[in-house]
């Protein structure tokens, strides 16, 4: 059985308040939307207050080539990934020599060799450390990374995996894209990194808070490829957001969650902790409605959304960190869950 034993995080230095970004958007998108003032409430309705970025606000008002943006991604993804990994290892009381496998998740830039090789060099890791980069899972990537790490240490119970997720969503911004999808993205996305230590059950247990992974489930719904993701053009990664997302969440999430819990003879009422990716306030509200629980149970997710915005795959790991610090009472169950492009879902059943 896999155990989650530590989470570290890192954010870049440029902190922007939502009011600043809203006024930036008013100026940038004003000529494209006659009713811009009717659309701007999305900046407050999402309950995001502050976000962190690798670049200052004025950068977003200028056109940048894909190569320039991707160079920045490689630089910042390495830096943030290293910082998050160090934070995680320090909290766990471990060093890089204790890690058997590094698993790297991202969706907001590309690199060959992959970013995990850069991070390994910066950290001075054993050159024989196994590594697995995972790209393209978007907001579901953090939960998917946890699942794949849990799979690995279940197969190899004496091993440790360091999962690192880094997203520089801001660096994908295309100021020439005046679509409503880009306006929505401007109100929500941000940059950050997280690292998680996952250990097998025969690794010597230490006296610190941990969460057991009981089961995982991945879902890819057919014919939903155009719901969210990237269009790739000469300027880089252009955001895709379908207006059907809230409807799909309402239709698909409930049966998906029920199927997963039925494996263990459980329902949503048996779950005490909801470690959900806060893709937006409406997504969290949909989770609460489907599971028949009060919004209070998603307070950690909403707090991360308020303070950091949506950092794609990284965000659910920030929520996980809050739960790990708080601790889950032994015997109580929780769900780690995230939705992403595909249209896809990743879920983990966890226990204190």
Torsion, CA 79, CA 81, CA 82, CA 84, rounded to 10: 120
What value, to the nearest 5°, has the Cα angle with vertex 88 and ends 84 and 93? 145
Give catalytic status of residue 169 as yes or no. Answer: no
E strand or H helix that includes residue 100: none
Catalytic, out of 88, 139, 168, 169: 139
Q: Supply 181's token pair.
A: 């999808």
Q: Supply 7's token pair.
A: 């989470």
- What's the burial of 129, exposed, middle or buried (CB within 10 Å: 0-12/13-18/19+)? middle
Q: Which residues of 272-300 are buried (b: 16+ CB within 10 A; e: fewer)?
A: bbbbbbbbbbebbebbbebbebeeebbeb
Q: Supply 352's token pair.
A: 């204190």
* Dihedral sign from CA coordinates of 49, 55, 58, 59: negative
- Report helix, strand or coil for 187: coil
CA–CA separation, 2 vs 23, rounded Å? 46
- Hey, which residues are catalytic here? 139
């Amino acid at each position: 059985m896999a155990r989650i034993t530590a989470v570290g995080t890192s954010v870049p230095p440029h902190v922007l308040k939502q009011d600043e970004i809203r006024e930036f958007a008013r100026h940038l998108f004003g000529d494209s939307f006659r009713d811009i003032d009717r659309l701007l409430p999305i900046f407050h309705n999402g309950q995001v207050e502050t976000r962190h970025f690798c670049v200052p606000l004025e950068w977003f008002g200028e056109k940048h080539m894909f190569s320039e943006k991707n160079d920045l991604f490689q630089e910042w993804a390495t830096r943030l990934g290293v910082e998050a990994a160090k934070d995680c290892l320090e909290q766990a009381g471990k060093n890089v020599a204790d890690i058997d496998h590094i698993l790297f998740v991202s969706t907001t830039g590309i690199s060959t060799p992959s970013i995990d090789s850069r991070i390994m060099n910066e950290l001075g890791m054993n050159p024989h450390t196994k590594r697995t980069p995972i790209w393209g899972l978007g907001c579901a990537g953090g939960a998917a990374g946890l699942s794949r790490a849990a799979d690995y240490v279940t197969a190899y119970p004496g091993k440790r995996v360091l999962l690192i997720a880094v997203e520089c969503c801001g660096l994908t911004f295309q100021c020439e894209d005046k679509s409503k999808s880009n306006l929505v993205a401007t109100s929500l996305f941000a940059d950050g990194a997280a690292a998680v230590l996952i250990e097998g059950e025969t690794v010597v247990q230490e006296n610190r808070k941990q969460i057991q992974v009981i089961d995982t489930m991945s879902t890819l719904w057919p014919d939903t490829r155009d719901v969210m993701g990237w269009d790739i053009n000469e300027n880089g990664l252009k955001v895709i957001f379908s207006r059907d997302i809230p409807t799909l969440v309402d239709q698909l999430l409930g049966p998906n969650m029920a199927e997963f819990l039925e494996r263990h003879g459980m329902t949503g009422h048996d779950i005490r902790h909801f470690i959900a990716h806060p893709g937006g306030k409406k997504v969290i509200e949909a989770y609460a409605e489907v599971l028949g629980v009060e919004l209070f149970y998603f307070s950690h997710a909403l707090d991360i959304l308020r303070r950091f915005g949506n950092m794609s795959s990284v965000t659910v790991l920030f929520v996980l960190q809050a739960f790990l610090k708080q601790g889950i009472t032994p015997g109580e169950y929780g769900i780690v869950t995230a939705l992403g492009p595909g249209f896809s879902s990743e879920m983990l059943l966890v226990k204190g």
